[in-house]
Amino acid sequence: MSKVDAEAVVPTSVERDAMHALYRQGGRESQMAPHIVYTEASCPHDDYDQPMQAIDFRMEDHGRAVHDALVWAWWDDTGFAGRCPRCGGWIHFTIRGKRAISPDEAAGFPQLPADWFDRATIL
């Protein structure tokens, strides 16, 4: 493959941002429930102990108010905070990734219900 061909198939960051924006817009318009497959396979706190690559948050199981607030935050790119079922560490979940955060940081985000992982499907 020539260099030109290789560049043609790898999206630039501008193109990636445009795809991300399109994806968010579609999700927000349909109020799609957040499901996500992350590139990182586990909890960001505890080094591969807690599998956490694919998550179906099952917002609809927590009532309308919780569902609406969290679905909005998700598609708004704010994301939300929730605790790891194994280590209890706070995690910031967004469309683009998940990261370990402090309890203070978690207080600044919309939060998943304390029992979110009992309803969610986490693989």
Q: Would the CA dihedral through 67, 38, 93, 83 be positive or negative?
A: positive
Nearer to Zn ion, 50 or 94 (CB): 50
CB of 41 to Zn ion, least distance (A): 12
Nearer to Zn ion, 38 or 72 (CB): 38
Could you say whether residue 99 binds Zn ion (CB under 5 A)?
A: no
Query: Quick one: tokens of 22?
Result: 């399109």
Residue 91: partners with Cβ closer than 8 Å, 6 or more residues away: 43, 44, 45, 52, 81, 82, 83, 84, 98, 99, 100, 101
Nearer to Zn ion, 24 or 119 (CB): 119
Residues in the interface with Zn ion (CB under 5 A) total 7
Near Zn ion in 50-79, by CB under 5 A: 50
